[in-house]
Amino acid sequence: MSDIVFDHKECGSCPIRHRAVCARCETDELNELDSIKYYRSYEAGQPIVWSGDRMDFVASVVTGVASLSQAMEDGRTQMVGLLLPSDFLGRPGRDVAPYDVAAVSNLTLCCFRRKPFEALMTRTPHIAQRLLEMTLDELDAAREWMLILGRKTAREKIASLLAIIARRESSLALKSTGDGMMFELPLTREAMADYLGLTLETVSRQISALKREGIITLEGKRRVIIPDFDRLQIETGDDMDGGMMA
């Protein structure tokens, strides 16, 4: 789809953004990106920015998982996005964060100072184009999530989440034995509940049910094994073929 490479491992000094850019960029631009980038690390659970905060950087996730969520002041919260390695954080052209961002697991970001990044972007059309591309992907993901939140049962929600993470995670492959797959679940039950619009008790119950029926296996608390992906896929309620997810 794109000649841009999205794997951190392929680019020692700086990941995605750098890599995303350098596929077509001149050396000058690479140097410029290098000069405005810096790394930041966060521990699991740590907040990164709050809704309404001024954000003076954009970033890409190097390792770990971050969450975007919206909160109602009575305490109800809804996660509206999950950032895995190679995902982009921040909104070029907008300096106020519209949601809370937090580290779900230990997290490393590669940050770029916003102003010079935007300047570079305006001067380099294909970067703007790439940003549009990525934003459209996020929009697709958000809308897929609307279907999950609005119309799926608890069981389908859990199956959908597992399927989505499995697809993402296993392309950056932790292990993929035959058609079975295995991955480290990066979310607590509570985080899953926040994402799926459920309570953590319901999440736990549904996971237990899937386990009981042999659709998934847990190794310890977080390592998930999916012996037969198609079987899980059926539980999502989705159209078999129709390409979901961004």
Partner DNA sequence: TGGGCGCATTGACCCAGATCAAAAAACGTG
Partner DNA sequence: CACGTTTTTTGATCTGGGTCAATGCGCCCA
Give the residue, chosen from 54, 72, 177, 221, that forms a contact with DNA under the rule CB under 7 A.
221
Report, in Å, the least distance between residue 70 CB and a second copy.
5
Does residue 201 interact with DNA by CB under 7 A? yes
- Give the number of residues in contact with a second copy, rule: CB under 8 A: 45
DSSP codes of every residue in 4-57: ----GGG-SSS-HHHHHHHTT--HHHHHHHHHTEEEEEE-TT-EEE-TT-B--E
Cα–Cα distances in angstroms (integers) from residue 18 to residues 25, 43, 227, in the given order: 10, 24, 37
Task: Pick the closest to residue 168 from 79, 65, 22, 37 (CA basis).
Answer: 65
* Distance of alpha carbon 57 from alpha carbon 52, whole angstroms: 14
Report, in Å, the least distance between residue 133 CB and DNA.
34
In the window 154-213, what residues touch a second copy (CB under 8 A)? 196-197
Q: Which does 188 bind (CB under 5 to 8 A by kind): a second copy, DNA, none?
A: DNA
* Distance of alpha carbon 57 from alpha carbon 36, whole angstroms: 10
Per-residue x/- marks for a second copy, 28-67, CB under 8 A? -----------------------xx---------------
Task: Pick the closest to residue 16 from 95, 84, 107, 66 (CA basis).
Answer: 84
Cβ(215)–Cβ(225) below 8 Å: no
Report, in Å, the least distance between residue 29 CB and DNA.
42
DSSP-assigned letter for residue 72: -
Residue environment code for 18-57, b if the CB has 16+ CB neighbours within 10 A, otherwise e: bbbbbeebeeebeebbeebbeeeebeeeeebbeeeeebeb
Report, in Å, the least distance between residue 217 CB and a second copy.
27
Does residue 219 interact with DNA by CB under 7 A? no
Size of the chain in residues: 246
Does residue 124 interact with DNA by CB under 7 A? no
> Is the Cβ of residue 197 or residue 227 nearer to a second copy in the bound state?
197
> Is the Cβ of residue 216 or residue 244 nearer to DNA in the bound state?
216
Task: Pick the closest to residue 51 from 14, 23, 91 (CA basis).
Answer: 91
Does residue 136 interact with a second copy by CB under 8 A? yes
Residues that bind DNA (CB under 7 A): 45, 153-155, 188-190, 197-205, 207-208, 218, 220-222
Instruction: Give the residues lining the site for a second copy (CB under 8 A).
Output: 51-52, 68, 70, 72-74, 76-78, 80-81, 91-94, 98-99, 122, 125, 128-129, 131-133, 135-136, 138-140, 142-147, 149-151, 196-197, 237-239, 242
